[in-house]
């Protein structure tokens, strides 16, 4: 609070830090240089935690959205072609601006935070001119700006809620898709009630996992393709019909499937498919509206229906197929063997971060989540390099708010490479993270040492090594030991079990388990390929 000290001078850095503090920012992630260092120091002096990252991409993927009051993603840069950046960032953010003076900083930061957490959450960019940081201004010239109000909770139109309830009640093969919007909305209680009261099958998206636990009897994750393909009514809770959900189009869906779309973002309604009903509003509020409406007449979806039978049968056969793959004893291990052993030991309350290609896709089907907002996957654009940043943010928050909860970060060997130096960050702050590197010597697939040597016999690497290959048998665990953490190199299920047990028991140190798998290992055969232009 700068008021009543009219003669006093204050630095730009302090004004910026105070503006963040006023908006309840608790964590700042960054990479400092001159003059940004001053802002980080000023922030720390006000009790804000500053986490220095190593890789700009990892820093920019932060913070994450566990705590609605404290998750605005704000970016700032010290020196650059400022005019250009503000304009360039406008495309990718909800708000992008450069305060015209230090006096304007508190207003701009309040607006950035507000824009970031209101409506569909998203990143904002505030560009601070470098010379502001060390400039001294009169304390009395800085006006107090209040902390922005919590986001308003909006409800859907009553008539739309009535229509939605009747569409649900008339469904022959209903399905709920629970997306990350449901997690953001803290809708776990209301959605679980909807699922259980009306006995509706549900499917979580990757980051919607845990809103209702993955092991819930009504979770049909193991029959994902089947559920999407034959549902006649789908309620979409905060998930976009983008490529991850196959655009809502045939052959992955019935041509006449009725979508009931629940979303907070009006512009999202009707993307790719014309919904039968649109419910614009906050998912938690809208779900409560739906519950109230459905409650008016006694109804539940028949648990003995043919639809439930089909789904259960498909789940059973899919689960058996993965179990069969998991139980194979040949070495090197395959993905399923690795993930089944990991799943067996995962604490139920841990955060799971995951990135890679096969590692993320297969891991998603085997590694379970029981709590909402405990899953972080590389998102819609499949951006690699965000995993370690996510893990660091999750661990930071876990340390403060749910001590004892571990962060398990499952990385492909290629994905790990994008931000591998963040291991130093993890060790610097001694974060309770267990990194698993599922190592197949390559991107998608790699080669074993013998094939590698054979390839290099007559020619140099750049002319013969397939672009997907990475150095075989790399000892990524030594990246961890280099900074004082624990490293394990494992090749067998027994070694994996043992090292994981030790890592979980050792709460004092981060660890990295480098898990060697069959370089040509892949996922089990799929009925469909991703929908692309060529097979649309
Ligand atoms: P997923 O990866 O789980 O499919 P997406 O990022 O595709 O998630 O979609 C999430 C959707 O959730 C977005 O369209 C967003 O507007 C919406 N959303 C976010 N927060 C809320 C909320 N509180 N209430 C309703 N919808 C929300
Ligand atoms: Mg999505």
Is a pLDDT exceeding 80 seen at residue 337?
yes
Cα–Cα distance measured from residue 54 to residue 49, given in angstroms and rounded to the nearest whole number: 16
Binding site membership of 181 for ligand 1 (Cβ less than 6 Å): yes
Closest CA to 391 of 63, 32, 70, 103: 63
Binding site membership of 156 for ligand 1 (Cβ less than 6 Å): no
Average of per-residue pLDDT across 141-168: 96
Binding site membership of 283 for ligand 1 (Cβ less than 6 Å): yes
State the greatest distance between any 2 C-alpha atoms of the chain, in Å, as a whole number: 78
> Parallel, antiparallel, or unpaired: how do β-strands 9-11 and 136-138 relate?
antiparallel
If you measure from the C-alpha of residue 237 to the centroid of ligand 1, how many angstroms do you get, rounded to a whole number?
Answer: 7
- Average confidence score pLDDT of the chain: 91
DSSP code at position 66: S
- 134 CB neighbour count, 10 Å cutoff: 12
Can you give the length of the chain in residues? Answer: 536
Give the model confidence (pLDDT) of 352-394 as tens digits: 999 998 899 899 999 999 999 999 998 788 888 999 999 999 9
Query: Percent of the chain having pLDDT more than 70?
Result: 93
Q: What is the pLDDT of residue 479?
A: 98
Q: What is the pLDDT of residue 72?
A: 43
- The answer, yes or no, to whether the previous bond of 332 is cis (omega within 30 of 0) is yes
Is a pLDDT exceeding 90 seen at residue 7?
no
Give the model confidence (pLDDT) of 251-305 as tens digits: 999 999 999 999 999 999 999 999 999 999 999 999 999 999 999 999 999 999 9
Q: Which residue has the higher pLDDT, 455 or 471?
A: 471
3-state secondary structure (DSSP) of residue 439: strand
Q: What is the pLDDT of residue 130?
A: 85
Cα–Cα distance measured from residue 260 to residue 215, given in angstroms and rounded to the nearest whole number: 25
Binding site membership of 179 for ligand 1 (Cβ less than 6 Å): yes
Closest CA to 297 of 157, 160, 164, 165: 165
Contact 487, 512 (CB under 8 A): yes
Cα–Cα distance measured from residue 150 to residue 446, given in angstroms and rounded to the nearest whole number: 49
- The answer, yes or no, to whether the previous bond of 251 is cis (omega within 30 of 0) is yes
Nearest ligand to the C-alpha of residue 183? 1
- Select, from the ranges 123-132, 397-406, 481-490, the one with the highest average predicted confidence (pLDDT): 481-490
N- to C-terminal Cα separation, the chain? 59
- With cut-offs at 50, 70 and 90, classify the pLDDT of residue 536: very low
Cα–Cα distance measured from residue 500 to residue 444, given in angstroms and rounded to the nearest whole number: 24
Cα–Cα distance measured from residue 189 to residue 335, given in angstroms and rounded to the nearest whole number: 33
If you measure from the C-alpha of residue 34 to the centroid of ligand 1, how many angstroms do you get, rounded to a whole number?
Answer: 38
Average of per-residue pLDDT across 469-495: 97
If you measure from the C-alpha of residue 287 to the centroid of ligand 1, how many angstroms do you get, rounded to a whole number?
Answer: 14
At which residue do the structure tokens 């500053």 appear? 50
Distance of CA 418 to the CA centre of its chain: 17
Helices (H), 283-440: 283-294, 306-327, 335-345, 358-366, 387-401, 413-418, 422-428
Is a pLDDT exceeding 50 seen at residue 533?
no
Q: What is the pLDDT of residue 129?
A: 86
- With cut-offs at 50, 70 and 90, classify the pLDDT of residue 228: very high
Give the model confidence (pLDDT) of 39-86 as tens digits: 999 999 999 999 999 987 766 555 432 232 333 455 555 545 667 888
Q: Token pair of 96, please?
A: 């992008």
The pair phi, psi for residue 167, each rounded to 5°, is: -65, -40
Nearest ligand to the C-alpha of residue 268? 1
At which residue do the structure tokens 């030790």 appear? 502
Give the model confidence (pLDDT) of 155-176 as tens digits: 999 999 999 999 999 999 999 9
Is a pLDDT exceeding 90 seen at residue 498?
yes
- With cut-offs at 50, 70 and 90, classify the pLDDT of residue 216: very high
Binding site membership of 480 for ligand 1 (Cβ less than 6 Å): no
142, burial (CB in 10 Å: exposed 0-12, middle 13-18, buried 19+): buried
If you measure from the C-alpha of residue 380 to the centroid of ligand 2, how many angstroms do you get, rounded to a whole number?
Answer: 6
Index of the ligand 1 atom closest to the CA of residue 244: 4
Average of per-residue pLDDT across 491-514: 97
Closest CA to 378 of 405, 412, 345: 412
Give the model confidence (pLDDT) of 175-215 as tens digits: 999 999 999 999 999 999 999 999 999 999 999 999 999 99
Q: Token pair of 39, please?
A: 């802002």
Q: What is the pLDDT of residue 67?
A: 37
If you measure from the C-alpha of residue 239 to the centroid of ligand 2, how many angstroms do you get, rounded to a whole number?
Answer: 5
Binding site membership of 261 for ligand 1 (Cβ less than 6 Å): no
């Amino acid at each position: 609070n700068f008021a009543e000290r009219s003669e006093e001078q204050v630095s730009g850095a302090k004004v910026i830090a105070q503006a963040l503090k006023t908006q309840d920012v608790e964590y700042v992630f960054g990479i400092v240089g001159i003059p940004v260092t001053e802002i980080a120091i000023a922030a720390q002096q006000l009790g804000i935690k500053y986490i220095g990252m190593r890789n700009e991409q990892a820093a920019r993927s932060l913070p994450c959205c566990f705590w609605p009051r404290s998750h605005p993603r704000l970016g700032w840069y010290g020196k650059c072609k400022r005019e250009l950046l503000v304009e360039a960032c406008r495309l990718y953010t909800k708000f992008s601006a450069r305060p015209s003076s230090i006096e304007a900083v508190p207003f701009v930061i309040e607006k950035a935070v507000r824009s970031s957490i209101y409506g569909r959450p998203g990143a904002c960019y505030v560009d601070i001119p470098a010379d502001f940081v060390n400039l001294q201004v009169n304390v009395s010239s800085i006006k107090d700006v209040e902390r922005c109000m919590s986001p308003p909770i909006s409800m859907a139109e009553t008539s739309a809620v009535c229509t939605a309830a009747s569409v649900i009640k008339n469904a022959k093969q209903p399905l709920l898709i629970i997306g990350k919007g449901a997690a953001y909305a803290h809708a776990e209680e209301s959605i679980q009630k909807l699922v259980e009261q009306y006995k509706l099958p549900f499917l979580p998206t990757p980051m919607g996992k845990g809103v209702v636990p993955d092991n819930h009897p009504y979770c049909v994750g193991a029959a994902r393709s089947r559920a999407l393909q034959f549902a006649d009514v789908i309620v979409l809770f905060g998930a976009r019909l983008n490529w991850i959900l196959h655009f809502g189009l045939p052959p992955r869906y019935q041509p006449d499937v009725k979508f009931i779309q629940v979303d907070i973002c009006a512009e999202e309604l009707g993307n790719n498919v014309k919904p039968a009903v649109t419910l614009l509003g906050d998912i938690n509020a809208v779900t409560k509206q739906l519950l109230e409406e459905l409650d008016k007449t006694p109804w539940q979806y028949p648990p003995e229906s043919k639809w439930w039978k089909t789904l259960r049968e498909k789940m059973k056969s899919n689960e058996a197929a993965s179990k069969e793959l998991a139980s194979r004893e040949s070495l090197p291990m395959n993905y399923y063997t690795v993930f089944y052993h990991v799943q067996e030991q995962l604490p139920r309350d841990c955060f799971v971060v995951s990135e890679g290609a096969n590692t993320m896709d297969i891991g998603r089907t085997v590694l379970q989540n029981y709590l909402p907002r405990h899953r972080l996957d590389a998102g819609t654009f499949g951006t690699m390099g965000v995993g370690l940043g996510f893990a660091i943010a999750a661990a930071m928050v876990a340390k403060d708010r749910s001590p004892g909860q571990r962060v398990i970060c499952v990385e492909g060997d290629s994905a790990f490479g994008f931000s591998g130096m963040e291991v130093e960050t993890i060790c610097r702050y001694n974060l309770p993270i267990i990194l698993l590197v599922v190592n197949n010597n390559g991107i998608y697939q790699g080669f074993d040492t013998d094939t590698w040597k054979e390839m290099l016999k007559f020619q140099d690497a750049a002319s013969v090594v397939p672009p997907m290959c990475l150095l075989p048998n790399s000892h990524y665990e030594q990246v961890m030991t280099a900074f004082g953490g624990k490293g394990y190199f494992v090749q067998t299920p027994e070694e994996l079990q043992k090292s994981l047990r030790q890592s979980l028991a050792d709460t004092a140190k981060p660890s990295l388990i480098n898990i060697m798998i069959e370089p040509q290992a892949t996922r089990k055969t799929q009925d469909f390929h991703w929908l692309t232009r060529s097979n649309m």
